């Protein structure tokens, strides 16, 4: 069976050997999974989730019992006062956009303290011109770079002392950058420093890819509001689309007024049959994240043993589910992505090639053979085709499928060795 998939005996041995050394890492991942599963189960129990909540509304979506219960479950799991969990959010980026437009007013300043935000936010903020950007409404933007993969605490404090800032954005996951992702300890530390200067500034965390990687949510360490996608971690590979905004009730309500319309806010928004999938998705999420993390750790170990640079290393603390492999040349990057695609359940017959993508300066190669379009809690691997040719791999619904795909991708690399 392995041979039919193009996996060589040599690669099976490499992966089996790597697995032997990962027992301790896998045990830690299982412990986090247990704790997060307890949290999710408690939230279901405390909110008396029953079959009635699987029912859905159409039209305006008034009195959607399931939707309201889902939002209570998400709030509890995320340690937040309240949450808005909606399929009317097209994506994580859309939820971030709604949040920014909901909280900021003309004349206000938004400050990013993790350098340049995620690519899709550039036109939202106005870093790249767009007639509908925050900038076009007179909202100012500034950013402070990270130093040595940590916050520039002094510059942040000085900035807050001499400027009135309405909202601070912290992006935990690295996006297509080469920095490390931000651990929850660092989020906690910087929020304490921020609060020592400014009690009122809204601290908003882009939490994409970070949910359930550890046991604490940013809301539990002082963030006012957090945002994430349901086709990433918390959707558990089951939610068909959507995103969430969770945090202080007042802010979640404001986001609701912006997502729909002032005056109707959170009272409307039909769920059109997906309540059960959203509930089942968050129920599965702790275990799916554990599978994704094990796949990432295995990838890190195997590719490092083969002589590639990786980030994070297999035994490093993780903040998100993203694994980088620094290939150093285009050929290996493309071959590896081809292997991941070839071991996908959907579109395994396609070969990913570097292509121009809207919003990106370089060509991008993307392996994504997912049940849900664009889902990156399902195994996916992509990277901009520029030096040093970094692959960004994330997800896997089960560890076995993740392992098989890594075996296939490594076989492609070794077969085609220069």
Ligand X SMILES: *Cc1c(COP(=O)(O)O)cnc(C)c1O
- Interface residues with ligand X (CB under 6 A)? 91-93, 118, 120, 171, 173, 175, 206, 208-209, 229
**Least distance (Å) from ligand X to the CB of residue 65?**
27
CB of 355 to ligand X, least distance (A): 17
Q: Which is nearer to ligand X, 46 or 373 (CB)?
A: 373
Give the per-residue SS3 of the chain.
CCHHHCCCHHHHHHHHHHHHHCHHHHHHHHHHHHHHHHHHHHHHHHCCCCHHHHCCCCCCCCCCHHHHHHHHHHHHHCCCCEEEEECCCCCHHHHHHHHHHHHCCCCCEEEECCCCCCHHHHHHHCCCCCCCCCHHHCCEEEECCCECCECCHHHHHHHHHHCCCCEEEEECCCCCCCCCCCCHHHHHHHHHHHHHHCCCCEEEEECCCCCCCCCCCHHHHCCCEEEEECCCHHHCCCCCCCEEEEECHHHHHHHHHHHCCCCCHHHCCCCCCCHHHHHHHHHHHHHHHHHHHHHHHHHHHHHHHCCCEEECCCCCCCCCCCEEEECCCHHHHHHHHHHHHHCCCCCCCCCCCCECCCCCCCCEEEEECCCCCCCCCCCEEEEECCCCCEEEEECCCCHHHHHHHHHHHHHHHHHCCC
Residue nearer to ligand X on the CB measure, 114 or 341: 114
CB of 117 to ligand X, least distance (A): 8
Closest distance of CB 92 from ligand X, Å: 3
Nearer to ligand X, 214 or 411 (CB): 214
CA distances to 36, 115, 288 from 188, in Å: 19, 18, 26
Please say which residue, 305 or 362, places its beta carbon nearer to ligand X: 362
Q: Which is nearer to ligand X, 342 or 383 (CB)?
A: 383
> Least separation, in Å, of the C-beta of 387 and ligand X?
22
Closest to ligand X by CB, 171 or 341: 171
Nearer to ligand X, 122 or 157 (CB): 122
The nearer residue to ligand X, 11 or 134, going by C-beta atoms, is 134
- The single residue listed with the structure tokens 């729909």 is 260
CB of 183 to ligand X, least distance (A): 15
In this structure, the strands spanning 225-229 and 202-206 are parallel
Pairing of strands 167-171, 202-206: parallel
Query: Between residues 170 and 201, which has the closer beta carbon with respect to ligand X?
Result: 170
Instruction: State in angstroms the smallest separation of the CB of 60 from ligand X.
Output: 26
| Bridge partners for 326 per DSSP | 309, 390
Q: How far is the CB of 90 from ligand X (least distance, A)?
A: 8
Nearest residue by C-beta to ligand X? 92
Query: What is the nearest approach in angstroms of ligand X to the Cβ of residue 312?
Result: 16
């Amino acid at each position: 069976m392995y041979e039919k998939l193009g996996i060589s005996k040599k690669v099976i041995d490499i992966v089996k050997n790597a697995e032997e050394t990962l027992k301790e890492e896998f045990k830690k991942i299982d412990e986090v999974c247990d704790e997060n599963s307890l949290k999710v189960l408690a939230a279901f129990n405390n909110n008396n989730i029953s079959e009635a909540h699987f029912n859905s509304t159409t039209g305006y979506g008034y009195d959607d019992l399931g939707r309201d219960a889902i939002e209570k479950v998400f709030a509890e799991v995320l340690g937040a006062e309240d949450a808005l969990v909606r399929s009317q959010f097209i994506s994580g980026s859309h939820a971030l956009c709604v949040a920014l437009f909901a909280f900021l007013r003309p004349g206000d300043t938004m400050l990013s303290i993790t350098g340049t935000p995620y690519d899709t936010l550039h036109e939202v903020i106005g870093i790249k011109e767009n007639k509908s950007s925050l900038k076009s409404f007179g909202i100012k933007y500034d950013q402070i770079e990270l130093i040595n993969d940590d916050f520039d605490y002094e510059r942040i404090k000085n900035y807050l002392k001499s400027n009135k800032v309405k909202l601070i954005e912290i992006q935990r996951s690295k996006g297509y950058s080469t920095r490390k992702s931000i651990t929850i300890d660092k989020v906690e530390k910087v929020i304490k420093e921020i609060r020592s200067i400014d009690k009122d500034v809204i601290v908003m965390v882009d939490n994409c890819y970070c949910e359930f990687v550890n046991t604490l949510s940013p809301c539990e360490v002082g963030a006012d509001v957090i945002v994430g996608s349901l086709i990433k971690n918390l959707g558990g590979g089951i939610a068909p689309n959507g995103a969430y905004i969770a945090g202080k009730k007042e802010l979640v309500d404001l986001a609701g007024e912006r997502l729909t319309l002032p005056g109707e806010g959170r009272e409307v928004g039909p769920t059109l049959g997906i309540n059960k999938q959203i509930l089942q998705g968050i129920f599965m999420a702790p275990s799916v994240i554990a599978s994704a993390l094990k796949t990432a750790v295995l990838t890190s170990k195997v590719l490092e043993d083969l002589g590639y640079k990786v980030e994070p290393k297999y035994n490093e603390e993780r903040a998100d589910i993203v694994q980088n492999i620094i290939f150093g040349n285009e050929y290996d990057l493309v071959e590896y992505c081809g292997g991941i695609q070839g071991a996908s359940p959907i579109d395994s017959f396609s070969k990913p090639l570097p292509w121009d993508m809207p919003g990106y300066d370089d060509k991008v190669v993307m392996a994504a053979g997912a049940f849900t379009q664009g889902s990156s809690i399902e195994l996916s691997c992509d990277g901009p085709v520029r030096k040093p040719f970094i692959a960004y791999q994330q997800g896997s619904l089960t560890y076995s499928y993740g392992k098989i795909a890594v075996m296939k991708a490594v076989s492609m690399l070794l077969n085609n060795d220069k």
